[in-house]
Structure 1
Amino acid sequence: MKTNLMLLLCFLTLFAGKSIEEKGYTVGDIVDNFELKSVSGEMISLDDYKNEKGIILVFDCNTCPVSKAYKERIKELHDKFADKGFPVLAVNSNDPGRQPGDSFDEMVKYAEKNKYQHTYVQDLQQEVARSFGATNTPHVFVLKKSGADFKVAYIGAIDNNSRDASAVTKTYVEDAVNALLKGNNPTPDKTKAIGCTIKWKEA
């Protein structure tokens, strides 16, 4: 009896995990417009990027050690690709009630302290994170312009070494953007995002 119960629990866990994983955008999907408040006080929407070739959209935060490890690499991506039509847009979806260090005021301080040149917005209601299916910080979605829309071209990690930038051998996001700039599809177009889980609001 206990064996049957364990098998049932394992099955339900796998099923639940599969359902969660399947939520959100996948490669090739058109992204819905959204509008969020940036640390500059302005409301930012995808419409503001209509003249860009795409967006490097990063679900990020102030507090996660992995996000902190990638902070300079995210800034470098913006420095390298903003002028080529792929700026970084960082989205903080952590619930400040659970993670006070990710409040809007702390976001403003963090962006100023670290001299962010890229846009940093707060997804206070967590609707954008849920629509994308974001799970981690950092979790990257490279978007490409397709007519009047933005389509998902790459999902996943920034590179293959979260701990040591000097030991990176695969630059997934950089390679994806370079492929798009050449008119090609990224290969790979999906990797596993490594980082802290997004701190969801408690029901």
Structure 2
Amino acid sequence: MKNLRILRWALPLLLFVAAFAVGFKAATEHNLDNGYQIGDMATDFSLKNVNGQMVSLSDYENAKGFLVIFTCNTCPYAQAYEDRIIALDAKYKTQGVPVVAIMPNDPNAKPGDSFAKMKERAEEKGFTFPYLLDEGQKVYPAYGATRTPHVFLLEKKPSGNEVVYIGAIDDNYQDATQVEERFVENAIDAMLSGKEINPKTTKAIGCGIK
């Protein structure tokens, strides 16, 4: 009898939790549906860099494409990829594909991702690329980014910046020496050589954007 009373009390709560989970999942999927897909043209933006200057993709007149990476200071996954992102910028910037990093988190929710902390992190790690604040969180929803890091490779064409790859940097965030699939490098190499990118999408692994 006691167990029955507990069940009657707990059942509404369990139903509420289940409904919330389903609603959250649907909202997340809806957000992804609203983001850029392969073949879409990415709208340009103007965001503040850690040096105080505003940066837009249109500033790069001679670029062949862009490696737009949503990342942050505080996520362990993002931190694990920082050196690899620096290496990607060093390798591909001279080939016309610079890294453009964007911090999408709300600093009120993650104080460690404040603009002041972004400046500190960029200086500490020696970032060679723009590290931009998505103030008001307007850019990352347009892209459909959900994780840090989350990569969007854009190919610059006469009609605009086409999304040609979305997802992860590689297949091993824990150990750069044990990477087997270098998704981003393979995608950029294929793009620059005019070959088909395969795969065009992978699952981004990282912290959820706050």
1:48-79 Cα distance to aligned partner (Å, 9 max, x none):
12320000100010110000000100000000
Distance 2:24 2:32 in 1: 12
Contact map agreement 1:90 1:118 (CA 8 A) in 2 = yes
Q: Is 1:82 equivalent to 2:60 in the alignment?
A: no
Q: Which residue of 1 aligns with 2:58?
A: 47
Match of 2:153 among 118, 133, 142: 142
Match of 1:157 among 137, 155, 168: 168
Q: Is 1:131 equivalent to 2:142 in the alignment?
A: yes
The change in CA–CA distance for 1:81 and 1:13 in structure 2 (over 3 A counts) is same
> What amino acid is the match of 1:118?
F
Question: Which has the larger helix fraction?
Answer: 2
TM-score by length of 1: 0.91
Contact map agreement 2:151 2:166 (CA 8 A) in 1 = yes
The change in CA–CA distance for 1:189 and 1:105 in structure 2 (over 3 A counts) is same
SS at structure 1 position matched to 2:194: coil
1:77-105 Cα distance to aligned partner (Å, 9 max, x none):
00000000000000001111011111111
* Consecutive unaligned residues in structure 2, runs of 5 or more: 1-14
The change in CA–CA distance for 1:8 and 1:122 in structure 2 (over 3 A counts) is closer
Q: Is 1:118 equivalent to 2:126 in the alignment?
A: no
* Consecutive unaligned residues in structure 1, runs of 5 or more: none
Q: What is the aligned-residue identity percentage?
A: 43
Q: Which residue of 1 aligns with 2:40?
A: 29
Distance 1:8 1:117 in 2: 46
TM-score by length of 2: 0.88
The change in CA–CA distance for 1:15 and 1:74 in structure 2 (over 3 A counts) is same
Instruction: Compare CA radii of gyration and give the structure with the larger one.
Output: 2
1:14 Cα offset (Å): 5.3
Q: Is 1:93 equivalent to 2:104 in the alignment?
A: yes
1:186 Cα offset (Å): 1.2
